[in-house]
Structure 1
Amino acid sequence: MSFILYTGKPDKQEHGFCTNIVLDLCATVPRAINHKVYCDNYFTTIRLQVELEKLGIYTVGTVRPNRLTDLTMKNKKELSSKGRGAMDHRIAEVDGVTLCVTRWYDNNVVNCLSTLHGCESLDSVKRWSSQPKNVYIL
């Protein structure tokens, strides 16, 4: 198990604070043998996913909307008007790395960025609602 203690702002900021932390933690991960890294929206950036893919490490993570610059997708209003399960996706290429961005609506909008999973594989699930007799099929 690896961890990094925060000791203040580092002198070296090659890719950005969050990206550098994950890259440092992944320094001991063997390359190009299908390892996968999952991140929450604090750490997920486009640059992180590109750098890890170049090392042969796949990534999936929720991502903050402000980190998806220059990407036009349906907004919260458009998705919420279609109800739970509404989604939008885009495929982008950055520095020769293919990224899949998926935005879907549940109770709120969730954004996911991945170099592992594509955007087309959809599954149906039952989702319980507190409203009487409502079960949503997503």
Structure 2
Amino acid sequence: MDATKKKAVTVAPDTASKRIKLSRQFSAKRSRMEALHGIHCHIPDLFGDPAPPYQRHSATSRRAAERIAPMAHTKRGEVLAFLASCGPNGATDEEMQRRMPMPANTQRPRRIELVADGFVKSSGKTRITRSGDYAVVWVAC
């Protein structure tokens, strides 16, 4: 299947109401963050693709994707809002995971989705991680 084609997903009524509730919660979080950090973050609607990607050969990956589906858009929003608050200094994946805090298996896929959708990009810089390796510094577009 072509990677650019998206699979149609039917959203059950109870899932739709959960998404509305989560959207309201995200808006409140964004407002609190803007007030706390004194910044205005224009965060676009991140409901575009409600089905998070998963490894097709892995039943556990599929179950994890199904479990996080109702929250994926808010997690993307949290990652984008965090990067926007970092400004041009940006953050590496490790820094995001440590400072947000968010587990690597949640943060990294959301950042990858934001890169694919054009909301986040590489700054062209790298920083040394705790393990001594170099990591890309990501910034909000």
Tell me, yes or no, whether TM beats 0.5: no
Larger Rg: 1
Normalised-by-shorter TM-score class: under 0.3
TM-score, length-normalised on structure 1? Answer: 0.26
Structure with the bigger percentage of helix: 2
Q: With structure 2 as the length reference, what TM-score do the two structures score? A: 0.26
Q: Which has the higher strand share?
A: 1
